[in-house]
Chain A
Amino acid sequence: MSLEPRVIAALGRRALSVQFRRAQLLMPTFVLPLMLLAVIASGTSSAQDLEGFPAVGSYLSFVLPGTIIQGALLAGLTSGIALASDIESGFFDRLLAAPVRRVSLVLGRLAGTLGLSVLQTAFFLLVALPFGARYPGGVAGLAGTVVLAAVTAVGIGGIAAAIALRTGSLSLMQSIFPFVFVLLFTAPAFFPRELLTPVLADLAVFNPLTYVVEASRGLLAGDAELGSPIAGLGASLGLAIATTALAVFALAERLRTT
Chain B
Amino acid sequence: MASAPALPAAPGTLAVIGVLWRRSLNEVVRVRGALLPATVAPVVFLLGMSGQFSRLTGLEGFPTDSYLSWIVPLSCLQAAGFAGAATGANLARDIEQGWFDRLLVSPVPRPVLVAGPILGAITRCLVPTTVVLVVGFLLGAELTGGLLGLLALYLAATAFCAVAGLWGVFMAVIFRTQQAGPLMQQGVFVAVFLSTAYTPQALLRGWLEGAAAYNPVTYVLELGRQATVSGIEPSLANTWPGLAALGGLLACFGALAMLGLRRMGA
The finding on whether chains A and B are genuine partners in a shared complex, rather than unrelated, reads yes
Chain A residue contacts of B51, Cβ below 8 A: 185-186, 196-197, 199-200
A178 CA to B190 CA in the complex, in Å? 17
User: Is B8 engaged at the interface, CB distance under 8 Å to the other chain?
Assistant: no
> Once the chains bind, are A44 and B53 in contact (CB under 8 Å)?
yes
Chain A residue contacts of B197, Cβ below 8 A: 39, 43
* Secondary structure class of chain A's binding surface, majority of residues: helix
> Once the chains bind, are B48 and A39 in contact (CB under 8 Å)?
no
Chain A residue contacts of B45, Cβ below 8 A: 181, 185
User: Is B247 engaged at the interface, CB distance under 8 Å to the other chain?
Assistant: no
B interface residues, how many (CB within 8 angstroms)? 38
> Once the chains bind, are B198 and A50 in contact (CB under 8 Å)?
no
* Secondary structure class of chain B's binding surface, majority of residues: helix
Chain B residue contacts of A182, Cβ below 8 A: 44, 48
Chain A residue contacts of B50, Cβ below 8 A: 197
User: Is A123 engaged at the interface, CB distance under 8 Å to the other chain?
Assistant: no
Binds B, one of A30-38, A84-92, A101-109, A240-248: A30-38
Chain B residue contacts of A179, Cβ below 8 A: 40, 44
Interface residues in A23-75 (C-beta closer than 8 Å to B) = 23-24, 27-28, 31-32, 35-36, 38-40, 42-47, 49-51
Given A32-B186, A181-B41, A184-B48, also A46-B59 (CB < 8 A): yes
Which of A35, A51, A186 makes the CB contact (< 8 A) with B193?
Answer: A35
Chain B residue contacts of A15, Cβ below 8 A: none
A197 CA to B48 CA in the complex, in Å? 10
A175 nearest CB neighbor, chain B only = B37
User: Is A124 engaged at the interface, CB distance under 8 Å to the other chain?
Assistant: no
Given A24-B181, A39-B194, A50-B59, also A191-B52 (CB < 8 A): yes
B59 nearest CB neighbor, chain A only = A46
> Once the chains bind, are A178 and B206 in contact (CB under 8 Å)?
no
CB distance from A13 to the nearest CB of B (A): 23
A150 CA to B47 CA in the complex, in Å? 27
> Once the chains bind, are B204 and A42 in contact (CB under 8 Å)?
yes
> Once the chains bind, are A191 and B55 in contact (CB under 8 Å)?
yes
User: Is B203 engaged at the interface, CB distance under 8 Å to the other chain?
Assistant: yes
Interface residues in B160-185 (C-beta closer than 8 Å to A) = 179, 181-183
Chain A residue contacts of B40, Cβ below 8 A: 178-179
A35 CA to B188 CA in the complex, in Å? 12
Given A27-B182, A39-B197, A43-B197, also A189-B52 (CB < 8 A): yes
A185 CA to B71 CA in the complex, in Å? 15
Chain A residue contacts of B179, Cβ below 8 A: 23-24
> Once the chains bind, are A28 and B182 in contact (CB under 8 Å)?
yes
User: Is B90 engaged at the interface, CB distance under 8 Å to the other chain?
Assistant: no
> Once the chains bind, are A35 and B48 in contact (CB under 8 Å)?
no
Chain B residue contacts of A45, Cβ below 8 A: 205-206
Chain B residue contacts of A197, Cβ below 8 A: 50-51, 54
Chain A residue contacts of B182, Cβ below 8 A: 24, 27-28
Q: List 28 A-B contacts (CB under 8 A).
A: A27-B182, A32-B186, A39-B197, A39-B208, A42-B205, A42-B208, A42-B209, A43-B197, A43-B198, A43-B204, A44-B56, A44-B199, A47-B53, A47-B55, A49-B59, A50-B55, A178-B37, A179-B40, A179-B44, A182-B44, A182-B48, A185-B44, A185-B52, A186-B51, A191-B55, A197-B51, A197-B54, A199-B51
Give me 14 other A-B pairs in contact (C-beta within 8 A), A31-B186, A185-B51 excluded. Answer: A23-B179, A27-B182, A32-B189, A36-B193, A43-B197, A44-B199, A46-B203, A47-B55, A175-B37, A177-B37, A181-B44, A181-B45, A200-B51, A200-B52
